[in-house]
Amino acid sequence: MCFTFELKMTSDKETPSTRTKSDFKIEVHDILPSFSGKYEIEKFLGEGRYGKVAQCLKLGSKEKIAIKIVRKKYTHNGKKEVHMLRQLIGLDLNKHNLVTFIEHFRYRGHICLAFEMLDISLWDLMKERTFKPMNLSEIRVIAQQLLVALEALKRIGLVHGDIKMDNVMLVNHKSQSLKLKLIDFGLAKNVSMLRRGTVMQALGYRAPEVILGLPLREAIDMWGVGCVVAFLYLGTHVYSTQCEYEVLRAIVQVQSQPEDRMLTPGMFTPVFFKKIQDKPPSWRLKTKTEYETTTGTCTIPFNVVGLRRYMLFSLDGMTRFCGGMRDHAEFEDKAAFVSIMKQMLHVDYKKRITPEEALGHRFITLRHFKHDTNSPYVTSANVTIEKCSLEMSSAEYMPFVTPSEPMSLKFVSIPSSDDTSSPDESMGSLDETCAHPTNRPKAAVRRPAANNRPPANNAPTHVHKAASPSSVKRNLPRATSKEDSSGLVEVKCGKTFFKRVGRFFSRMREYPTFMKTSWRHHTAG
């Protein structure tokens, strides 16, 4: 089980290669005694600033367990994670796709956290595939499970705060296909403890409200899930993993600039934006030169779609990736996918889709397939769901109705200029995105996630209480013949778009005949 907690707060002065052996005197074959038994360390799976993760064998039962061994100097961080994990006790962890925490104990002054042994992370899975994009049927079951996890966390008022590819792990890739669990609650917080200006989330998965210093809520986790889902579809990060300015530049370029009502109250808005007038839009994104001059920080260019030839101009343009569409059902599915991506990555956190709404979205429920039940594409989508043997959430979700969103396949070739983003980081390296300030200018110094001291004028956010899960049921999503008002508007808009394109090319084919006729009439006259 490859936890990646060690990458969160690593500094330039302290790396695994510069640490001495004296700060971690635990070796392979050591026996770790706990309250429930003894564990023998078989091998270490990962190492970093916070400590190590070891694969252990529980003596007696011969059960394999993953044990997170925290360095002594970070004992406080270990205690905080234990406190967060204890809040999950009331949840059905298997049903809600959350890692099972077994126990914690001390060994030679180190806090040790024992977890169930899982398989590989989504990052490792994509690396095995040489970062080949997943198909929508696979993405759907992964997104559904992550949304179920978010819905459960929201009900108990908990924010994960570090959702990324490394922190989503497959239970058993061979026997249970895409069954997964969300791990690593080292940066988790109660909603009531979230504070403006707190650094949370790994760059590349960091929500705009975190970067701008706006009030924080559960919506930051939905942004993280959106970034994970987009990665699975594109095979690369949508946003920069090294530079906050480049994250905002990509958001402005691909989606839209945040409205004034978001920018004006932002604690760090002046770091990235320049006020140009009093009436909306009163802000504009600083140029790279302006940003570097005012902050003394060099930007790290980032190509929005990695090594690909074209740069994403809008989220609608995601439909151009991963090949063409074979039938109408696939077109509807891609339209549904783009729709939910827009809602997950909505720049305005107040308008971002909630876990409950997302679980009722047609991309998850497959209601947009009601007229295509005999399509091979629909059959394949249902088979993928069945193969994963998904544990569904106990809540019943209302259909989420989206506004009319015409499909626009907008792309632009990347120009060759100094302001152009460079290709993405090498896809063969570890996803070392870390939830700490990376390339942060001096003007944007913030409170680290571990600091819970609130500003005097910040009121706590309302905490949602857990609901009883036994009163309602939710069936496995399949293509059904039920009437569905959500999604039909968008599909119709998409059809209209392609009909117009078809009429345009039909007229183009008739154009030579028309010109010949017109020329004859002209010469005859």
Is the pLDDT assigned to residue 1 strictly greater than 70? no
Q: How far is CA 17 from CA 20, 48, 439, in A?
A: 8, 10, 22
CA distance 179 to 364: 16
**pLDDT at 6 exceeding the cut of 50:** no
The verdict on domain 122-242+311-448 having CATH code 1.10.510.10 is yes
d(C-alpha 69, C-alpha 77), whole Å? 12
Question: Residues 118, 363: contact at Cβ < 8 Å?
Answer: no
Q: Which of 409, 310, 321 is nearest to 134 (CA)?
A: 321
H or E segment and range at residue 219: helix 219-234
Compare 514 and 337 and report the one with higher pLDDT. Answer: 337
Of 275, 254, 379, whose CA–CA distance to 317 is shortest? 254
Query: Is residue 95 a known part of a binding site?
Result: no
* Residue position matching structure tokens 């905490």: 463
CA nearest to 146, candidates 225, 207, 89: 225
Tell me the pLDDT tens digit for each residue of 83-113: 999 999 999 999 999 999 999 999 999 999 9
Q: Select which of 23, 30, 119, 162 is catalytic.
A: 162
Q: What one-character-per-residue DSSP string does 362-405 give?
A: HHHH-GGGTT-TT-HHHHHHHHHHHHHTPPPPSS--PPPPPPP-
415 burial class (0-12, 13-18, 19+ CB within 10 angstroms)?
exposed
Torsions phi, psi for 323 (to 5 deg) = 85, 175
For residue 112, give every residue at least 6 positions away whose Cβ sits within 8 Å of its Cβ, in sequence order, or none: 32, 34, 67, 68, 69, 70, 104, 105, 106
pLDDT of residue 421: 38
Task: Give the residue among 392, 313, 466 at the shortest CA–CA distance from 94.
Answer: 392
Its CATH class, for the domain covering 5-116, is: alpha beta
| Gap between the Cα atoms of 169 and 182, Å rounded | 6
CATH 1.10.510.10 maps onto the chain at 122-242+311-448
Model pTM?
A: 0.74
Question: 31: part of which helix (H) or strand (E)?
Answer: strand 31-33
At 457, the amino acid letter reads N
Percent with pLDDT over 90 in the chain: 56
Burial of 322 (0-12, 13-18, 19+ CB in 10 A): middle
Active site residue 162: yes
Question: Residues spanned by CATH 3.30.200.20 within the chain?
Answer: 5-116
Helix (H, G, I), strand (E, B) or coil at 190: strand
Helix (H, G, I), strand (E, B) or coil at 118: coil
| First-last CA distance in the chain | 84
Residue 464 has pLDDT above 60, yes or no: no
pLDDT digits (tens, 9 = 90+) for 272-308: 999 999 999 999 999 999 999 999 988 888 764 443 4
pLDDT of the residue at 384: 86
421 vs 356 pLDDT, higher one? 356
Higher pLDDT, 498 or 186: 186
Q: 57 or 7: whose pLDDT is higher?
A: 57
pLDDT for residue 310 is more than 50:
no
CA angle 219, 224, 225 (to 5 degrees): 95
Q: Residue 247 has what pLDDT?
A: 95
Rg (CA), the chain: 25
